[in-house]
Amino acid sequence: MLQRDEILKSALSENHRYGLPMVVVHWLMAVGILTAFGVGLYMVDIPGITPFKLKLFNWHKWLGVTLFALVLLRMVVRMLSKTPKYPAHWGHNTVLLAKLGHLALYLFMLGVPVFGYLYSLASGYPVVWFGVIELPVLIEKNAELKELFKTLHELSGKGLVLLVVGHVLMALKHHVLDRDGILGRMIPGMRAD
């Protein structure tokens, strides 16, 4: 057991935490994704067209645009930041799975708002961010595209939530079972070594 603890400590001793900008964007994205998903599920179950339902649709769109901007910012921050190395005790397959999981998260974090934006446009509703900045109308109203983008938005949204749940479960597994300090890389105040 002592040897394992020494390996873990040396593996995490250098560059073992994400920087504050990455941590802040990570947690803003987490809260935003769960909020957007919750609002989306709630608003589609409201019968008919009501002022409250329309307000929720606008909030959902504004949040989607904000999340898209945040994921772009996150990508820039990640490129400019030092990222912690994977623990030395991880095998090739574990590292590969971690990288594929993060790639999938990024693809879905980009895809969900893009499909939602195109769904809104194909439905004939432009997106006006916070009621102030009108985003470009890339496609005209189109019933066939509306159904396609609606399906893609819904499926990718559910896929993103499943990926987030998997991400959380893996972080908890590393914290509780492996005790390798991975969770502390993204939670301020928690030990990462």
Q: What is the pLDDT of residue 90?
A: 86
34 alpha carbon, distance to own chain's centre: 9
Give the integer Cα–Cα distance in Å for 32 and 28: 6
Nearest residue to 64 (alpha-carbon basis) of 134, 140, 127: 127
Q: What is the pLDDT of residue 178?
A: 84
Q: What is the pLDDT of residue 5?
A: 52
Indicate if the pLDDT at residue 7 is higher than 50. Answer: no
Name residue 93's amino acid: N
97-12-14-78 Cα dihedral, nearest 10 degrees: 40
Q: What is the mean pLDDT of residues 74-98?
A: 90
Indicate if the pLDDT at residue 1 is higher than 60. Answer: no
- Contacts made by residues 66-70, CB under 8 angstroms, sequence distance 24+: 66/32, 66/129, 67/29, 67/32, 67/33, 67/36, 67/109, 67/112, 67/113, 68/110, 68/113, 68/114, 68/117, 70/25, 70/28, 70/29, 70/32
Indicate if the pLDDT at residue 193 is higher than 60. Answer: no
Q: What is the pLDDT of residue 11?
A: 41
Model confidence pLDDT, tens digit, residues 25-76: 999 999 999 999 999 999 999 999 999 999 999 999 999 999 999 999 999 9
Domain ranges of the chain: 12-182
CATH number of 12-182: 1.20.950.20
